[in-house]
Amino acid sequence: MKLPVYFLQFFCFITVCFANPSLAQSNYPNRPIRLVIPFTPGGVTDTSGRFIAEQLSLKLGQQVIADNRPGASGNIGTQMVATAEPDGYTLLLGFDGTLTINPSLFDKVPFDSVKDFAPIGKIGDAILILVANNDFPGKTLADVIAISKKDPNGLSYGTSGAGGTPHIAGELLKQKTGANLLHIPYKGGGQALTDLLGGNIPLVYTAVAGANQYVKSGRVKAIAVSSAKRSPSLPDVPTFIESGVKDFEVDSWVGLLAPAKTPKPIIAKLNKALNDILNSPEGKEKLLAMGIVPAPGTPEKFAEQIKGDLIRIAPIVKAAQIKPE
């Protein structure tokens, strides 16, 4: 039987690629790429992932499809990538909460944050901020700590939910300063801010992106940001370190990862494309507008941060006895 020409051409292509993997890698990508976002549509994490997917499509010459796979605080979508074929066609939008907090928060997670992934690069850091309602008597972080110690019931602060990065930051503040703070979890940072604006809660720990407009309009008081440097969008707000809390740095980050054993040439190509986006004027402008400070770098540097955060966060979660909602 005589085979069609197109079948023979395809067979030859597959045979050559398997015989010479470097050729297959040099042709990468030759079909669409899936970027798994382990959360529901909407929110800073999803929005940043979709922007990166659009820009990678332009850089790589192949469509990068954003695929939302929410569930179990990001564990479901993350596991999908951990077990995917390591060929560069399934990527993960990694989030610090899923990769570095969940392993300490849950009794068991269905992936290993270090062994199951090949980091591509960090996209950027979402700076966190502690804000107070305008009726709160204090103005500085020192005021917050002092007032909390005088309250036998604890000074309430709201966050987007139990076990999130803002909650970790609040617990770390308690551990470092002895502040008497009472965590109030909400179903999202927006709900927490609504209660703050209504005077129903004195403090909220949230992302700068969500609080920015209220700080600038004077509807809430900015106490401090927990990044190493001041926020570009709120340059007059001091950091926790400047406010007297030594070595206090807690950011929420987002980045790109592939399944472990993805070939290094593919990782290098994706890293270059990502860094080109982060270094471009449009990339910087778009991400900063989302409250994310771009952080171009190497896969190795991103891998080091993941390992370091896992070690740093575990004792905070254990000491505070934080449990998932």
270: pLDDT strictly greater than 90: yes
Q: Is residue 19 part of a domain?
A: no
Q: How confident is the prediction for the chain on average, in pLDDT? A: 92
Q: Are residues 157 and 168 in the same domain?
A: yes
Give the per-residue pLDDT at 42: 80
The pLDDT tens digits of the residues spanning 26-55 come to: 799 999 999 999 998 887 889 999 999 999
Give the per-residue pLDDT at 16: 46
CATH code for position 159:
3.40.190.10
DSSP state at residue 162: T
Q: Is residue 88 part of a domain?
A: yes
Q: Is residue 239 part of a domain?
A: no
Q: Are residues 120 and 164 in the same domain?
A: no
Q: Are residues 57 and 205 in the same domain?
A: no
Share of residues in the chain with pLDDT > 70 (%)? 92
Q: Are residues 90 and 161 in the same domain?
A: no
**Number of structural domains the chain divides into:** 2
18: pLDDT strictly greater than 80: no
Give the per-residue pLDDT at 21: 52
CB 120 within 8 A of CB 292: no
Q: Is residue 16 part of a domain?
A: no
Q: Is residue 11 part of a domain?
A: no
Q: Is residue 325 part of a domain?
A: no
Give the per-residue pLDDT at 65: 98
Share of residues in the chain with pLDDT > 90 (%)? 85
Mean pLDDT of 86-115: 97
Give the per-residue pLDDT at 158: 97
Residue 66, strand partner residues: 35
Q: Is residue 268 part of a domain?
A: yes
- Residue 112 belongs to what domain range? 31-126+252-320
Long-range contacts of residues 108-112, Cβ cutoff 8 Å, at least 24 apart: 109/75, 110/75, 110/79, 110/82, 111/75, 111/78, 111/79, 111/82, 112/82
Q: Is residue 154 part of a domain?
A: yes
12: pLDDT strictly greater than 90: no
Mean pLDDT of 208-212: 91
CA angle 79, 83, 87 (to 5 degrees): 125
Q: Are residues 277 and 289 in the same domain?
A: yes
- Between CA 305 and CA 282 the distance in angstroms is 26
Q: Are residues 121 and 132 in the same domain?
A: no
Mean pLDDT of 159-180: 95
Confidence tier at 324 by pLDDT (50, 70, 90):
confident
Mean pLDDT of 292-299: 96
3-class DSSP assignment, residue 126: strand
Mean pLDDT of 301-318: 96
The pLDDT tens digits of the residues spanning 103-145 come to: 999 999 999 999 999 999 999 999 999 999 999 999 999 999 9
Cis upstream peptide for 263 (omega within 30°): no
Q: What is the DSSP annotation of 44-107?
A: HHHHHHHHHHHHHHHHHSS-EEEEE---GGGHHHHHHHHTS-SSSSEEEEEEHIIIIIHHHHSS
Give the per-residue pLDDT at 15: 53
